[in-house]
Structure 1
Amino acid sequence: MTDQRWAIDIDRDQIASAQIVAAPEADLPEGAVEITLDLYAMTANNVTYAVFGKPLGLFGNDQGYWDFFADRDVPGRLPVWGFATVSASRHDGVPVGTQLYGYFPMASHAVLMPGKVGPHGFTDVTPRRTSLPVIYNQYQRIESLGDYREQDHDYWPVFRPLFLTGWLIADQLEDEADYGAQQILVASASSKTAIGLAQALGQRSSRPRIIGLTSAGNADYVEGLGLYDQVVTYDAIGSMDPGIASAMIDMAGNPQVAAAVHNHFADVLKASIVVGKSHWDSADDGTALAGPTRQMFFAPGRSEKRIGEWGPDIFRQKLEAAWLGFADLAPRLLGIEKREGAEAALAAYIQTVEGKADAKTGLVIIP
């Protein structure tokens, strides 16, 4: 960790345009805390945050992912998942030295406004964030995490939020009787969310076949994971049996892959669910697709549904048990690569935006 104070500004309209800027020490208002980021992950999921940074109605209001950490008239600050330590405090309930897991800007420091402070953590009540999904605004004290283990520390920011999304997708599939599908086609099968989904689906006593769709370059890696019943490269989609009822979970939002699946399976494709948009620069020519209308999966909405039905304690217990089972596999699934400092953070972001990050590696940034 460096003593320098920095942040990365991103052009809201051209997400590949980003620069390091100085981040002077802020005057803390009463009730606020400053945190120093200790470690965060850079994954394709962060590219999805950037693509959906501008208001698109995802949150049911006129807000987007940029609104978590930047006002509308300034460059975007990318949300990342990681660990941080409170380095200055004007809130009696959140003293200096408190260690937190949560959602932070891509920067060395940040200012949060704790509300609903309790033994497990707090909710950020910065005005621009109060109408955004609460799951993103919650900061948990590390010692209160029932499924935190020191041995998993570096894997937490890399996998934990993406495993949660995969676990929630698996829950929706089971809740919907898999939409009547005999096989689940997981596009971008090497992605961390896809890996979480495949592992969660694999825990079911009765389930459809899990088919990983991936590039030729990643096929051996995906095969080696041992989480998919079959691995099919994108150029071989046309060789699949078009009569098997299928559902597609699209992690990357590549329109060419979507078109290949839709036009091959047509009405036998029972559902087509888009999770991410890391293939943000892939052109969509607007051609109508055969089969079902594509629908977005929004993890905060699904989690809020289940929390409402199960209650927060049961939701947390189910998630913690599922995560611990997955965390035991994590070191076998990929290695961790740590990079340090502002220049490394910017390079990791650009590499990920350009789709050049290694699927077999979890990128962790130490500011």
Structure 2
Amino acid sequence: MSTANWAIDIDRDDIARAELVADPPAPLAPGQLCARIDLYAMTANNITYAVFGKPSGLFGNDQGYWDFFADREAPGRLPVWGFATVTESAADGIAAGDRFYGYYPMASEAVLTAGNIGPGGFTDVTPRRTTLPPIYNQYQRIEALPDYRAADHDYWPVFRPLFLTGWLIADQFEDEGDYGAAQILIASASSKTAIGLGFSLARRPGPRPETIGLTSRANVVNLAAQHVYDRVIAYEDIMTLSPAAPAALVDMAGNGAVTRVVHSHFGNNLKASIIVGKSHWDADAGQAALPGPERQGFFAPGRSQKRIADWGGAAFGQKIAAAWLAFMDVAPRLARIDRRSGGAAALAAYREMLSGTADPGAGIIVAP
């Protein structure tokens, strides 16, 4: 098949079944635009999108991540974060050559329906997307991003959405008085969301809980050398932590075995248990009754909307920008960029991430 215009179709019921398909362009309707996807990231976060592709209650309605870029009767199109350049436009205020950062399908091109067009960007108003979280429907002109630096370009799709999630989790901990915890255990600590959380907690002024990164034994030395967490230990060493010290767990991967060990070890001294992602999509999620607190999910778009309501959009943006630029000063030492090109490489990158064999020290970006 020609790979000039391609997409990757994923079985909604079995995310391990994915194939590269031809995706020929179609005529644009009024208000639509076609954008060539220049660059996107493939991370464990995308596997979470696939796991929750079907309606799961995350959005408070009967929609899931598959609804952003595919009709219900069609195979799933995985959302990814990246940059794209408009090649054709039937939307007033958007011209060929305009560049946007935002949410795209795992494909070489995307057709979007533009509304609320302004100097800063636009909102996709495709009918099936209008009831989905607004943060996913906003497309920002690169030139209008206040904290964009050309030197950071490749790190934006790799880290930006994940760092924002980590920063929002850290904000929630501060807002909740750290749930009374003296130590915060962060599982899957080599993940990029976890690193964003550890970095954000470390920047807090004044007293704060100790941060303990939990990872596989093979990753301990390298992760500790990054100095993101106060301590890094292997999963097998969780039992060496003092069960008398109030703790909180942030689980980035949905691994039930780790959750059970932490809950059993700390019991009622575990003050909060927060699950963020499901990158270990085929692992036991640990839903059986556990000692200690009930597990709670964290949903970044909801937290963003709360803080925008609390602070106002401008203040929220300023806080994120300051944190992001500080993080970008250290990001190159935290992950190297692993660039892939073309549809076959995109499919291979998805399968690699799905299998859990991707190098946590790399940020995979795909140039379609």
Same fold (TM over 0.5): yes
Name the residue aligned to 1:54: 54
After superposition, what is the alpha-carbon deviation per residue over 1:53-98, rounded to whole angstroms, capped at 9, x for unaligned? 0001100111000000001111100000000000110012111100
Residues 98 and 3 of structure 1, relative CA distance in 2, 3 Å threshold: farther
Name the residue aligned to 2:339: 338
Alpha-carbon shift at residue 221 of structure 1 (Å): 2.0
Q: Is the 1:221–1:360 contact (alpha carbons within 8 Å) kept by the matching residues of 2?
A: no
Alpha-carbon shift at residue 165 of structure 1 (Å): 0.2
Amino acid at match of 2:66: W
Alpha-carbon shift at residue 357 of structure 1 (Å): 0.4
Question: What TM-score, normalized to structure 2?
Answer: 0.98
Alpha-carbon shift at residue 283 of structure 1 (Å): 2.4
Q: Is the 2:254–2:285 contact (alpha carbons within 8 Å) kept by the matching residues of 1?
A: no
Residues 168 and 34 of structure 1, relative CA distance in 2, 3 Å threshold: same
Cα distance in 2 for residues equivalent to 1:22 and 1:299: 33
Name the residue aligned to 2:299: 298
Amino acid at match of 2:25: E
Name the residue aligned to 1:261: 262
Name the residue aligned to 2:156: 156
Q: Does 1:235 align with 2:233?
A: no
Cα distance in 1 for residues equivalent to 2:79 and 2:233: 33
Name the residue aligned to 1:132: 132
Question: What TM-score, normalized to structure 1?
Answer: 0.98
Alpha-carbon shift at residue 284 of structure 1 (Å): 4.2
Cα distance in 2 for residues equivalent to 1:129 and 1:332: 37
Cα distance in 1 for residues equivalent to 2:213 and 2:42: 23
Name the residue aligned to 1:9: 9
After superposition, the CA RMSD in angstroms is: 1.0
Alpha-carbon shift at residue 6 of structure 1 (Å): 0.2
Q: Is the 1:9–1:76 contact (alpha carbons within 8 Å) kept by the matching residues of 2?
A: yes
Q: Does 1:193 align with 2:208?
A: no
Amino acid at match of 2:197: L
Cα distance in 2 for residues equivalent to 1:44 and 1:285: 19
Name the residue aligned to 2:35: 35
Amino acid at match of 1:328: D
Alpha-carbon shift at residue 219 of structure 1 (Å): 1.1
Amino acid at match of 2:260: A
Give 3-state SS (helix, strand or coil) of 1:113's partner: strand
Alpha-carbon shift at residue 287 of structure 1 (Å): 3.0
Alpha-carbon shift at residue 225 of structure 1 (Å): 1.1
Q: Is the 1:63–1:132 contact (alpha carbons within 8 Å) kept by the matching residues of 2?
A: yes
Alpha-carbon shift at residue 285 of structure 1 (Å): 6.3
Name the residue aligned to 1:110: 110
Alpha-carbon shift at residue 3 of structure 1 (Å): 7.0
Amino acid at match of 2:129: R
Give 3-state SS (helix, strand or coil) of 1:212's partner: strand
Residues 6 and 225 of structure 1, relative CA distance in 2, 3 Å threshold: same
Q: Does 1:175 align with 2:175?
A: yes
Amino acid at match of 1:65: Y
| Identity over aligned pairs, percent | 63
After superposition, what is the alpha-carbon deviation per residue over 1:143-177, rounded to whole angstroms, capped at 9, x for unaligned? 00000000000000000110000000000000000
Name the residue aligned to 2:22: 22
Amino acid at match of 1:62: D
Q: Does 1:70 align with 2:48?
A: no
After superposition, what is the alpha-carbon deviation per residue over 1:325-356, rounded to whole angstroms, capped at 9, x for unaligned? 00010001110010000000000000000101
Q: Does 1:123 align with 2:123?
A: yes
Q: Is the 1:246–1:268 contact (alpha carbons within 8 Å) kept by the matching residues of 2?
A: yes
Cα distance in 1 for residues equivalent to 2:117 and 2:151: 28
Alpha-carbon shift at residue 238 of structure 1 (Å): 1.1
User: Across the two proteins, how many residue pairs are aligned to each other?
Assistant: 366
Q: How does 1:252-331 map to 2 (within 5 A)?
A: 252-284=253-285, 286-331=287-332
What stretches of structure 1 of length at least 5 have no aligned partner? none
Name the residue aligned to 2:221: 220
Amino acid at match of 1:258: T
